[in-house]
Amino acid sequence: MSGKKGKKGQSVLLIPGAEGWEVWTGAGETVSLSLRSDTVHALEVSPLPAGELKMAFPLREVSSLPMMAPTTDKTLFADMADMHVERLAMRPAIESGNLSDCFSVAERGEATLLLPVVLAPPPEGSLPSRSPKAFDVSARCYPMPADAVAVWKELGRWVFALGINGNPMHFQALASVDLDEAAGREIRMSLMQLQIQGLLDSVPTHCFVWVGEQDASPGHSAITALGKGFGGRASMATKPTPSFPSKPSELLPADTRAERLAKRKRQQAALMVSALVLAYLGVVGWLGWKLVEAEKRAAAAQSILDEIGGGAEFISEHQKKWEQLDPVIGLEHWPVELLSRCAKAIPSGGQLRFERAEFNNQLEIDDDGTTKKIRRITLTGKAETLEQVNQLNLNLKRSGDLAYYDWNTPPPQETNDGRWAFNYDASPKDPQN
């Protein structure tokens, strides 16, 4: 294993190499190989350079399911791709994360060639120790040759991809271990199936075998055998420098999604605590300011009180005398007013009459000089029916004019003449009054 540390602010691309993982770092289009590993487990790739980490999944873990969508409306692509994946029984489990995506490859008249992909749930150890910011497929990180097939090696296994306009329209990991005639026939069979499905006008006749600067050459005999099985011409070419797509995929395994959710919750909790602390400090400051203002007002009031001196005693004596006049000047307690309010409670259309109405409204002064108000209402009478008495009972208790009083309404009694007698009394609700 060899490599060099990257600089902060750079992008870090973790992508499968011929025998192990490779790490490319750089900014913009200027990238360089920073680390070359011989391990096939991304978790064991270390140390990862500082920077924004992005990961490209190897093709052996991704299923390519190209389709022709009978529309150019981009808003319909995702739904049509989902139905296509569902029809092929390839839909991943929801709990596994977001393991599917769809890419637009090319427009053909009123139709669009789409490339839905489905990622197999990443097994344990297949993700790096540091959570990537974005995920994609390795084939999308290389410029695809025009009218030709690209073949290269990933993590000890040969893969191929066919592109249109520089973008992959189909890719696949080969079952063949070696690059030989059987591998060429496998590639040709896959392309013929695409042609039968109407996704490919013609099968390409040229096959490029990509080899990196430090990768072992497959040899002239292997290239010749591949071309023979492929039914065309095969040649060796330098493997292009990878670059992460400008518009990354929406692939997001469950482990990384759960980690992001947990991180987001921690950030939200920290922000909430900070907001609460700021709110607490603000409330404390406001209360302190209000306390100072209250102390100032209290001092001013005390100063005024000291100035008026004995005037307070005069006011208190005047208040007592005013309360003694309350039975006379308090309109709401006048007998005539109370009788009028009680009469309003008599049900209409009936023969209910008050026979006696007493209104006690007076003051009593205890030996200690405390003034006590004595107020009481007594109503007696008769009605033709029990319903009239019950209605009077409800009207008295619901009356807003008599809300000051608490009514005692014992059940009415039937008299010898067939009428119903009632005897109600009321006293103020507040015992202090």
Evaluate whether residue 314 is within a structural domain.
no
Are residues 93 and 229 both part of a single domain? yes
CATH number of residue 370's parent domain: 3.30.1360.100
The pLDDT, as a whole number, for residue 54 is 94
| Same-domain status, 283 and 368 | no
Interatomic CA distance for residues 229 and 260, integer angstroms? 47
Please report, for residues 4, 19, 232, 330, the alpha-carbon distance to residue 14 in angstroms, rounded to integers and kept in the order given: 14, 14, 33, 91
Residues 268, 207 within the same domain: no
Q: What are the strands, taking DSSP E only, across 287-370? A: 353-365
Same domain, 228 and 276: no
CA distance 202 to 162: 12
pLDDT at 316 over 70: no
Q: Do residue 139 and residue 268 come from a single domain? A: no
Q: Are residues 196 and 213 in the same domain?
A: yes
Looking at the structure, tell me whether residues 240 and 259 fall in a common domain: no
CB 388 within 8 A of CB 373: no
Residue 269 shares a structural domain with residue 338? no
Do 15 and 91 lie in one domain? The reply is yes
Q: pLDDT tens, 53-110?
A: 999 999 999 999 999 999 999 999 999 999 999 999 999 888 888 999 999 999 999 9
DSSP assignment letter at 221: H
- Residue 84, phi then psi, degrees to nearest 5: -65, -45
pLDDT in tens, 10-45: 899 999 999 999 999 987 667 899 999 989 899 999
Residues 237-254, mean pLDDT to the nearest whole number:
91
Query: Could you read off the pLDDT of 183-212 as tens digits, one per residue?
Result: 999 999 999 999 999 999 899 999 999 998
* 158/299: higher pLDDT: 158
Among 250, 266, 298, the domain boundary falls at 250
| CA 238 – CA 240 distance, rounded (Å) | 6
Task: Specify if 341 maps to a domain.
Answer: yes
Band (141; pLDDT cuts 50, 70, 90): very high
Please indicate, yes or no, if residue 316 is contained in any of the structural domains: no
Asked if residue 75 belongs to a domain, the reply is yes
The structural domain count of the chain equals: 3
> Do 289 and 348 share a domain, yes or no?
no
Using pLDDT thresholds of 50, 70 and 90, give the confidence band for residue 290: confident
For residues 131 and 219, state if they share a domain.
yes
Residue 270 and residue 169 share a domain: no
Single-letter amino acid code for the residue at 96? S
Q: What pLDDT score was predicted for residue 325?
A: 55
Range(s) of the domain holding residue 277: 255-308
Task: Say if residue 239's pLDDT is above 80.
Answer: yes
pTM (whole model) above 0.75: no
Give strand pairing partners of 115. 103
Say what percent of the chain tops pLDDT 70. Answer: 83
Q: What is the pLDDT of residues 322-352, one digit of tens each?
A: 555 555 555 666 788 888 888 888 988 778 9
Which CA distances in Å does 310 have to 20, 171, 316? Answer: 99, 102, 10
